[in-house]
Amino acid sequence: MLAAARDQSEVRADNAIVRITAEGGEPLRCCLTDAVNGEPLVLFGYQPSLPQSPYRELGPVFAHADQCEGAALTDAYPTAWRGRPQVLRAYDPRGWIRDALVHDGSEPEAAIDGLLSDPGVTLLHSRNVAHGCFMFVVTRN
């Protein structure tokens, strides 16, 4: 998906892929960090994996326009986003929202563990509070 967005500059499935220059601070889905002013980026619609459900949606994500090293860790909360308020949405196996919360970014593992303590929750999506950008997914081990 990301490689296709980087290769195209027009329209994909009725959704524009736009090349922009970072102003700085854009949350980058590719490496789970924030963009630095002046970096070339792509902004495109992304549909996080969920079963067919009324809650499945397409939302904006930013990524480096060129290949990057990716996320340093994929089994821990992104270091660069500690302290950033996030929306956490908990989904059941049908892809329906079971619970959601806005956390202030402090102790994100406690917020995640709290939502995952419900045995009916199979995964969480983290989203940007203000613009709704998809940030990352948390799945059960």
Neighbours of 15 (CB within 10 A): 13
HSE, side-chain direction, 13 A CA sphere, residue 139: 7
Q: Which pTM value belongs to this model?
A: 0.87
d(C-alpha 18, C-alpha 6), whole Å: 10
Per-residue pLDDT at 16:
77
Report the pLDDT value the prediction gives residue 74, as an integer from 0 to 100: 78
In this predicted structure, what is the pLDDT of residue 8? 73
pLDDT in tens, 9-54: 555 556 778 899 999 999 999 999 999 999 999 999 888 989 999 9
How far is Cα 67 from Cα 97, in angstroms, rounded to an integer?
Answer: 33
- If one counts every other C-beta atom within 10 angstroms of the C-beta of residue 111, the result is 20
Per-residue model confidence (pLDDT) at position 14: 62
* pLDDT given for residue 25 in this prediction: 94
pLDDT, tens digit (0-9, with 9 covering 90-100), for 62-119 = 999 999 988 877 788 999 999 999 999 999 999 999 999 999 999 999 999 999 999 9
Torsion on CA atoms 23, 25, 27, 31, rounded to nearest 10: 100
What does the block give as tokens for 124? 């969480």
